[in-house]
Amino acid sequence: MERWEKEGVHMKKNTAQLTDSAQIANNPVISSEKYLQQYGIQKSYLTYHNFGSKIVEYLEIGMPYMIMYESLDTKTGRTVSFEFTENSKNYLYSSIHELEKLGERPLHTHDFYELTVVLSGEIKICIENEVQTYHMGECCLCNRNIHHKEIMDTDFELILFMLKEDYIKKALEQDILYDENGCPYTRSSLFHMLFAKNKEISFYTAKEYIDFRINSSFHSEPFYAIINALINEFSEYRAGRRHLLMGYICRFINLLENEGIYQIQSHRAVLSKEEDLVYRISLLLEQRHGIINRQELEEALNYNGDYMNRVIKKHFGYTLSEYARNFRMQEAAKLLSHTSLSISEICSRLGYSNYGFFNRIFQRRYGMSPGAYRQSCGTGSD
């Protein structure tokens, strides 16, 4: 497929193949020392917290979505990846040495929904310490906060759809149909089930993942047609790109939810004692938009502040105060995109007296200033 070839990946028999050794030789060898920077990505919207932990790593994306193509050739021991976001493209690959390091990494969790789509071969995924194998055409949808990791020991090609909740909600809301009376309605989706459960019991406890297993009526042509169309749009910044991407994502979700093609099964994991505490801390921070001090947390939850700090650090790589700050930034982003409050008013509402400090931490969190973020949401400027 031409678009893949322009990006350095050659399509054969409807699947993406590894670039040749000459192309790879022209790229810097990747080291495992500082992960993203050492993996050839100088600027990425994928952020790792708690990196190097033996227990769990926590990932965030600073954009509404990120799409990643990955392939592994066990004969050469190389992985090839392409990372697409709203405004960037990155290419990276790793050698057998880095592949071994990847295999030693712990489970990870993240703040977005992740849909793994197998293009060819098979991939093993350890999900909450159970190993599931997915073959060509099969998919796995992980809710937020599911602990998992890919096991890098078989040849595969896959696409990872990393989708923020606001983005996928907007995409589904815009997929409007009309009944015989001309009244608009939207399609029901498995994502709506996850949204409802997350709202009911918070994503910190709704630890669910959904398998999509192909049945005998599966045909690869529609599957690859949508994937290739998506990659075409991801690879170019053309007029209408954002709307087309949302449309193709909705179309692909609709394909997966066709029970004539896929067998769909939902799984749920159980919270540990520490995870339950993480949930309770997170729920309180969510309700208070992060505006709460350690003493108030201790009194509300009846736990020692130092212990809560260690638990949050273990699970997310943040201190308790840094973790609370994330909830303030989420509220700031919400107010910027959904209200006409000035930035100074938002700053004051969230308890910041220093506008410069607020601006710096917001930019660190979202990769742009509050004003630029507001403009990107189409809600005007201060």
| DSSP calls for 306-373 | HHHHHHHHHHHS--HHHHHHHHHHHHHHHHHHH----HHHHHHHTT---HHHHHHHHHHHHSS-HHHH
Residue 80: predicted pLDDT: 83
Distance CA 17, CA 326 (A): 39
279/270: higher pLDDT:
279
Instruction: Answer whether 248's CB lies under 8 Å from 226's CB.
Output: yes
- Per-residue pLDDT of 244-268, as tens digits, reads 999 999 999 999 988 889 999 988 8
In a 10 Å sphere around its CB, with 0-12 CB exposed, 13-18 middle and 19+ buried, how is residue 194 labelled? buried
pLDDT at 226 over 50: yes
C-alpha neighbours within 13 Å on the C-beta side of residue 90 = 19
Distance CA 286, CA 295 (A): 17
Which DSSP state fits 240? T
Residue 1: enclosing H or E segment and its boundaries?
none
Distance CA 147, CA 300 (A): 27
Residue 382: predicted pLDDT: 58
**Which of 80-94, 279-293, 342-356 is predicted least confidently?**
80-94
Question: Which residues of the chain does CATH 1.10.10.60 include?
Answer: 273-376
Residue 279: predicted pLDDT: 76
Give me the mean pLDDT over the 280-299 stretch.
89
What's the per-residue H, E or C state across 270-295? CCCHHHHHHHHHHHHHHHCCCCCCHH
Place of tokens 């029901």: 188
Residue 17: predicted pLDDT: 30
For residue 57, give Cα distances in angstroms to 148, 231, 272, 274, 316: 10, 28, 17, 15, 7
Residue 162: predicted pLDDT: 93
Place of tokens 């004051």: 348
One-letter amino acid of 251 = R
Distance CA 63, CA 242 (A): 13
What is the average pLDDT score of the chain?
A: 79
Instruction: Answer whether 342's CB lies under 8 Å from 382's CB.
Output: yes
If you count them, how many residues does the chain have?
A: 382
- Per-residue pLDDT of 45-71, as tens digits, reads 777 776 666 667 788 888 889 898 889
Residue 12: predicted pLDDT: 35
Question: Which residues of the chain does CATH 2.60.120.10 include?
Answer: 2-268
pLDDT at 172 over 70: yes
Q: Which class does domain 273-376 fall in? A: mainly alpha
pLDDT at 26 over 60: no
Residue 206: predicted pLDDT: 61
41/251: higher pLDDT:
251
Give me the mean pLDDT over the 184-188 stretch.
71
Which of 3, 147, 6, 16 lies closest to 81, judged by CA? Answer: 16
Residue 240: predicted pLDDT: 83
- Per-residue pLDDT of 105-140, as tens digits, reads 778 888 899 999 999 999 999 988 789 999 999 999
Residue 44: predicted pLDDT: 65
- Under CATH, what is the fold of the domain 2-268? Jelly Rolls (2.60.120)
- Per-residue pLDDT of 190-219, as tens digits, reads 777 777 776 666 545 567 899 999 998 888
Place of tokens 């392409």: 82
Residue 291: predicted pLDDT: 93
Residue 193: predicted pLDDT: 75
- Per-residue pLDDT of 353-381, as tens digits, reads 998 999 999 998 888 999 999 988 876 65
Q: What share of the chain is helix, strand, coil (3-state, %, to 5)?
A: 40, 25, 35
Residue 3 is encoded by which pair of tokens?
């678009």
Residue 343 is encoded by which pair of tokens?
């930035």
Give me the mean pLDDT over the 169-179 stretch.
82
Instruction: Answer whether 89's CB lies under 8 Å from 83's CB.
Output: yes
Residue 283: predicted pLDDT: 76
Distance CA 116, CA 118 (A): 7
